[in-house]
Each structure stands twice: as structure tokens, then as C-alpha cells.
Structure 1
Amino acid sequence: MGQAIAPRMAALVVEDDRMLRDLAAAVLEETDLQVVEAESGEEALAYLREHAEDVAFIFTDVQLPRLVDGVDLARMVATKWPWIRMVVTSGGPGDRIDHLPRSATYMPKPWRALDVLVAAEQAAARTA
């Protein structure tokens, strides 16, 4: 009998700026996590409703199009899927970061690739 292969955990990148989303995805491809991308909080939530058990890490911008911004997303994730580690980033979050759940980490823009990698690796290690 063969040995079962564990499914690969995912990192979800939520960023409306295509260039920044591609950059974050490229950085996260250096981890053992499968990278999934979303342009909005609503798109991220739709993915999570179907695949939350496979997500270890979310990297999201504060400012997102439509109604659900990165802070709203972090609060919903902390409540519904508390095992998922989150990094929330922004170049100018204003007072929105005051509303982040304690489980989310704030990382100012411009972020360093190494900092994103370390946060993702820590999240993956927690779920392994």
C-alpha cells in the first residue's frame, strides 16, 4: 500500500494592485505553500468558504475595492477561521489598523520579501 500524501496548505494573497499581488505571490512561491490570489475581500471570502481548511496564511492589503477591506477581512477570518494566520499591509492605513484583531499582524508598505517569507513560514509550521 502506498503512503497518503498530505494536501498542500495555501497562502492567500489579497491585493487589488496586480503588480503588488504578483510580487507577493512570487515571494510566497518560495515557501511550501500553494499560492492563491484574490483581488478583493469578497473574492477572498468566497474562496475561504470553500477552502478555509486548506489555508494557513493570508497576506492582504488594507485598502481593497468594494465593501470588504483588509481589516474587515481580518476580523471575519479571526472570528470564523481562527487558525489562519494573517498579515495586513498598507502604505497609509490611517486609523483602520486600530481595528485589527490581535491575531493579525500589521506590516507597513513597502514590505520586505524576507519579512513576508518569515511570516508565511511561521504560519505553515503552525499548521504542519
Structure 2
Amino acid sequence: MTTAKPHRVTIMVVEDEAALSSMACEMVEECKLEPFACDPGDVAYGYLKTHADQIAALFVDIGVRDTIDGFALAITTNADCPRIRICVTSGQTKTRPAGLLASVKLVPKPWRALEVLDFVLPD
């Protein structure tokens, strides 16, 4: 008799601060979900373009700097893959940036574990 592997939900974490990326990934794992840490923004964008069907949610620091920054990654992901839940985080602002859709959650830094867990736990 074979046992089916449990389906794991993948959460992409795009955070340029290694300690925060690690912490977010650990919290995702504690929820029995699969974290996928990806940095920088253009690598994350490329991965999303080819593996969007494997990603349930995106947790991204809008301050990630690259060819495509975290803010643009969130906007593009929302336009291209509206089924992916998106949460942006920022240490620079506690107010919602102009152009950020209402469906995108904003969690200012320093974020608390509960805020991240509330986002990553599937409905």
C-alpha cells in the first residue's frame, strides 16, 4: 500500500534582509506550508512567470531593489496571476502606497508573527 504525499501550499518569500527572510520562512513552515525564498526581484519575477501555478501566495518587501522592485513585483503578479494572494511589507512606510490594489495586504515592519501567519494560512 502506498501513501499519498500531502499537498503542500507554496508561499514565495521575497525579502532582501536574510534574517527576516529566514524568520518568515520558518513561520510558513510552522503552518505546514512550503516556503520558497527568492531574492532579488527579477529572479522572483522570472520564477513566477514560469511557475505561477505552484505559488499560492507572495510575501514581498516593497523595498527589494532590482530590475523589478518589490512594489512592481506585487503589482505585476496581481495583474498576471490574480489568484495568488499578495502581502507587501515595508520598513519605510506604514501607509498604503498609491497604486497598491485593495486586494494586496500591507504589513508594515517590524511585522509580528501573527500578521504573517494570518496572511499565509489558506482560507
TM-score, normalising length: structure 1? 0.85
* Alignment partners' CA distance in 2, 1:96 and 1:62: 11
RMSD after superposition: 2.1
SS at match of 2:106: strand
More helix by share: 1
Q: Which residue does the alignment assign to 2:72? A: 72
Q: Which residue does the alignment assign to 1:87? A: 87
The 5 A counterparts of 1:48-127 are: 48-93=48-93, 97-121=97-121, 124-125=122-123
* Alignment partners' CA distance in 1, 2:82 and 2:61: 19
Contiguous gaps of at least 5 residues in structure 1: none
Residue 10 (structure 1) aligned with residue 6 (structure 2) = no
Runs ≥4 in structure 1, deviation > 6 angstroms? none
Q: Which residue does the alignment assign to 1:33? A: 33
Compared with structure 1, are the counterparts of its residues 27 and 94 closer, same or farther at alpha carbon in structure 2 (3 Å cutoff)?
A: closer
The alpha carbon displacement at 1:35 in A equals 0.6
Contiguous gaps of at least 5 residues in structure 2: none
Contact 1:62 1:89 (8 Å CA) reproduced: yes
Contact 2:40 2:64 (8 Å CA) reproduced: yes
Contact 1:97 1:106 (8 Å CA) reproduced: no
User: Could you report, residue by residue, the CA deviation over 1:68-125 in whole angstroms, capped at 9, with x for unpaired residues?
Assistant: 111101110111100010110001148872121222111100000011011111xx23
Q: Which residue does the alignment assign to 2:19? A: 19
Alignment size in residue pairs: 123
TM-score, normalising length: structure 2? 0.88
Identity %: 36
